[in-house]
Amino acid sequence: MGKEESPQITRRTTRSSSSVTVAKNGVETTKTSDSRPLTINELVFGENPIGLDDLLSSFPSRRAQILELVRLLGPSNSPMLPIFIYGGSSTGKTSIILQIFRHLNRPFVYSSCLTCYSPRILFESILNQLLLHRKNAANGYSSAKRCERPSDFVNSLREALSNVINNLKGNSGKSSTKNLVGRADGSMVYLIFDNLELVREWDKSATILPFLFNLFDVLKMPEVGLIFVSNTSPDTYYSSMGYMEPIPVHFPDYTEDAIRQILMKNQVNRKLYLSFLDVVLRPFCRITRRVDELSTALAPLFEKYCEPVSDSGVVPNEEMKRVLFSHLQPYIAPSLNEVFKVSSQPSPEVKTNSEIKQKGSRRKSGGCEEIDELDFHMSTSAKYLLISAFLASRNPATLDASLFDPMGGFDSRKRKRKPSQKSLEQKETVEQELLMKGPGTFPLERLLAIFQCITSIAEGSIDEEEQGDEGLEVQGGDGRLMSDVLLQLSSLCNANFIIKGGSCPLEGLIRYRSTVSEDMVMKVARSLKFPLSKYLYRR
């Protein structure tokens, strides 16, 4: 990089006194380049431009889009109507438009609405680039102009643009004598707005979005080209009507063989990888066609695939492919159904992690079963509270009385059956409710009532759980569990097991909802030896 940009920097310094023969020691120029004054050439891509053929070859199956874009941008110094590039994420929109500008070597201003998360920051970053202003410690990382309103932005944008364009005109006049690489070509300036779909969220697309779409007409400067890049198609913007619709360019998602070509790029052993792709690519493409997801999913699989292979340079023949495939087979289905793969302990050289592993295994062997062991610590009362919250969310409030009576298990079951036989259709509705609305909400009082019932029922289990010391336990085990239950509740809320809306828990107006998954609760109940299924309605 350093070497590539050093000529441009020397040129930058010596443009006035036009002599190209300056020592090109890239290192020190990169070191000190922040002290140098920025020139108009900051606005071009900066590395030496690439030919159209390299451009086309570097993006497989994007030929049509690239050519179309180049045509729409047209020859240098020719004005342009706004362009709207859209297509699914990771279809190469941003990289292609950037590479095209590298190829054309024209000045442009890029701003992503993801990084510029508010109108003010968007405006200021555009102005900073146009005014060749760079934030640094010297100016306290402040931007060149402070502007928040579109009206101010338009005014200062106008003058900034006109300066730049005049600068470019003079520049091009000079450059007609000797055509240099880092030198901006033509006197057009292009504004690129990336991730435009995010702007709709900013102020409910009331002002900013129509403003951006109208910018071309508002400015009335033919030397300015606007390029919008968005994830979503133009018809998703119709809700914010009132703009001149730009020219759409669609980037379709990659087809399977396009994906194959892309994945094949910069692979060391292409043959091997190709055989690998033949095995896995089709099933994966049925799930998703996004390159990033596919590449992250396939990388670990390929390692597995390569395990039997001795040398990396081998060219697989048929039965070798067969062997490799049979080796790979068991891993495919799980990784098909895996979205978020967490690799544990990437650093094998530390022995401590192996020790940790065996510790873990020991813990499991120590615990009753591997599966249903809860793998993090909760206090007993928190566990009971969690269970009661779960019950409160799942059971209809009307049945509490019949489900939890302090008489205990058998009785409650007998009573439970009665209403369930009585109202089958009600059950249906409850089932639907659960499916649709998810876990129901409940007030604090109900939660605590259920909690009390459960704990009073489960006292016995607690006691036999703690052998030596019934004496202490009996004299107010319930009271003990009950004592700082509100604290437990808050910590449960913090762990996202219970979601609450509203303010202070003493002001019982808020309703809570437990979002904990059922098997999790089952684990908890098992760790308490608590008969959960008995109190769960319709289970």
Partner 1 sequence: MALASAATDSPIQTTSETNDNNLQTFFVLHKASSRKSEKRSTGTGKTRRRIDLSPSSPKKTDKSEAERAEEWDERRYEHLRMEAFELVWSRIDLTIKDVLRGINTNVLNEIHSWVCESFNAIKSFGTLGFAEATRSFPIVAAATCKRLFTGLILTKNMEFVDDLLTFEELGLSLRSHGCHVANLSSMDFSAKNGIGGCLRGFLRQFLTTTLDAADISILASWYREQDNHDSPVVVIIDDMERCCGSVLSDFILMLSEWVLKIPIIILMGVSTTLDAPRNILPSNVLQRLCPSKFILGSPAERMDAVVEAVLVKQCSGFSVGHRAAVFLRNYFLNQDGTLTSFIRALKIACAQHFSMEPLSFILGDLLVEEKQKGEKICLLPEVILKHASQLPSYVRNQMADQTAKSLVHGFSELKRLQKCWSIVVLCLYEAGKCNKIRLLDLLCEALDPDLYISRASNNHVELDKDSGLGMASDRCKRRKYSTFQKGGIISQIVRKVRDLPAVMLYQLLKSWENITVDILEIHEKLKELQSVLRFEDGKLKQNVDDISKRHSSWSPLNIEKDSKAINEKAATLLDCLVRDYLRPMECIPLHEIVCFKNVEKLQLALIGDPRRRIQVDLLEFYKILQCSCCSKSGNVLLPSMHDTSVMYTLAQEHGDLINLHDWFQSFKTVVLQPSTKGKHKSKQSPLSKKRKHKYESENKSEASIQARFCRAVTELQITGLLRMPSRRRPDCVQRVAFGL
Partner 2 sequence: MGRESAAEEALKLIRSRLCDPSFVFRAFSDSPESNYSKLKFIISSSVTEACNNSILLLGPRGSGKIAVLELVLKDLLLEYADMISVIRLNGLLHRDDNCAFKEIARQLCVEHQLIFSKMASFDDNSQFMIAMLRECGLAHKTIIFVLDEFDLFAQGKQRVLYSLLDAMQSVTSQAVVIGVSCRLDADQLLEKRVRSRFSHRKLLFLPPSQGDIERLLEHIFSLPIDSTLPHDYAVEFNAKLQNMLADDKFKQTINTHMNSDASVNDLLRFLFRAVSYMDSGSGLLSLEYFKTALSNIQRQPKLECIKDCSVLELYVLVCMKRLEVKEKNSYNFNAVMKEYKSIHDSFMTSDYYAQNVCLRAFEHLLHRELICFTDNRAYNQSVEFRPVKLLISFHELHQGLKSYRSCPAILLKLMDREA
List residues binding partner 2 (CB under 8 A).
Answer: 68, 71-72, 74-75, 77-81, 87-89, 149-151, 154-155, 207, 210-211, 214, 217-218, 222, 231-236, 242, 244-245, 247-248, 250, 252-253, 285-290, 293, 336-340, 435-438, 499, 501, 513, 515
CB of 244 to partner 1, least distance (A): 26
One-letter amino acid for residue 99 of the chain: Q
Does 191 contact partner 1 by CB under 8 A?
A: no
498-500 vs 511-514, strand pairing mode = antiparallel
Does 202 contact partner 1 by CB under 8 A?
A: no
Question: Which residues make Cβ contacts (< 8 Å) with residue 523, sequence separation at least 6?
Answer: 372, 373, 374
CB of 431 to partner 1, least distance (A): 23
Site for partner 1 in 96-135 (CB under 8 A): 98-99, 109-112, 114-118, 120-121, 124-125, 129, 134-135
Site for partner 1 in 24-43 (CB under 8 A): 26, 30-31, 33-34, 42
CB 469 within 8 Å of CB 480: no
For partner 2, the closer CB: 79 or 360: 79
Residue 463's binding partner among partner 2, partner 1, none (Cβ under 5 to 8 angstroms by kind) is: none
Site for partner 1 in 213-232 (CB under 8 A): none
Phi then psi dihedrals of residue 206, to 5 deg = -80, -55
Residue 295's binding partner among partner 2, partner 1, none (Cβ under 5 to 8 angstroms by kind) is: partner 1
Tokens encoding 184: 């901006």
Alpha-carbon gap, residue 408 to 539, rounded angstroms:
18
For partner 1, the closer CB: 78 or 379: 379
Query: Cα torsion for 51, 55, 61, 64, to the nearest 10°?
Result: -60
**For the stretch 414-444, what's the b/e string if a residue is b when 16 or more beta carbons lie within 10 angstroms of its beta carbon?**
ebbeebeeeeeeebeebeeebeeeebbbbeb
CB of 326 to partner 1, least distance (A): 28
Residue 210's binding partner among partner 2, partner 1, none (Cβ under 5 to 8 angstroms by kind) is: partner 2
Does 436 contact partner 1 by CB under 8 A?
A: no
Alpha-carbon gap, residue 216 to 247, rounded angstroms:
13
Site for partner 1 in 363-382 (CB under 8 A): 363, 366-367, 375-382
Q: Which stretch binds partner 1 (CB under 8 A): 1-9, 151-159, 164-172, 427-435?
A: 1-9
Site for partner 1 in 518-537 (CB under 8 A): 520
Does 13 contact partner 1 by CB under 8 A?
A: no
- Edge-to-edge order in the sheet of strand 441-443: 441-443, 511-514, 498-500
CB of 151 to partner 1, least distance (A): 18
Does 136 contact partner 1 by CB under 8 A?
A: yes
Residue 136's binding partner among partner 2, partner 1, none (Cβ under 5 to 8 angstroms by kind) is: partner 1
Which residues pair with residue 190 across a beta bridge? 108, 225
Residue 66: CB atoms within 10 A of its CB come to: 20
One-letter amino acid for residue 112 of the chain: S
Question: Which residues make Cβ contacts (< 8 Å) with residue 182, sequence separation at least 6?
Answer: 7, 8, 11, 12, 41, 44, 46, 48
Does 347 contact partner 1 by CB under 8 A?
A: yes
Does 354 contact partner 1 by CB under 8 A?
A: no
Q: What angle do CA 59, 62, 68 make, to 5 degrees?
A: 125
CA nearest to 203, candidates 116, 113, 118: 118
Question: Which residues make Cβ contacts (< 8 Å) with residue 359, sequence separation at least 6?
Answer: none
- Edge-to-edge order in the sheet of strand 83-87: 108-112, 189-194, 224-230, 83-87, 247-251
Site for partner 1 in 250-279 (CB under 8 A): 266
Q: Which stretch binds partner 1 (CB under 8 A): 253-261, 315-323, 400-408, 445-453?
A: 445-453
CB 185 within 8 Å of CB 105: yes
Question: Which 8-state DSSP code applies to residue 196?
Answer: G
CB of 345 to partner 1, least distance (A): 7
Residue 207's binding partner among partner 1, partner 2, none (Cβ under 5 to 8 angstroms by kind) is: partner 2
Does 292 contact partner 1 by CB under 8 A?
A: yes
Q: Which stretch binds partner 1 (CB under 8 A): 220-228, 291-299, 412-420, 423-431?
A: 291-299
Residue 486's binding partner among partner 1, partner 2, none (Cβ under 5 to 8 angstroms by kind) is: partner 1
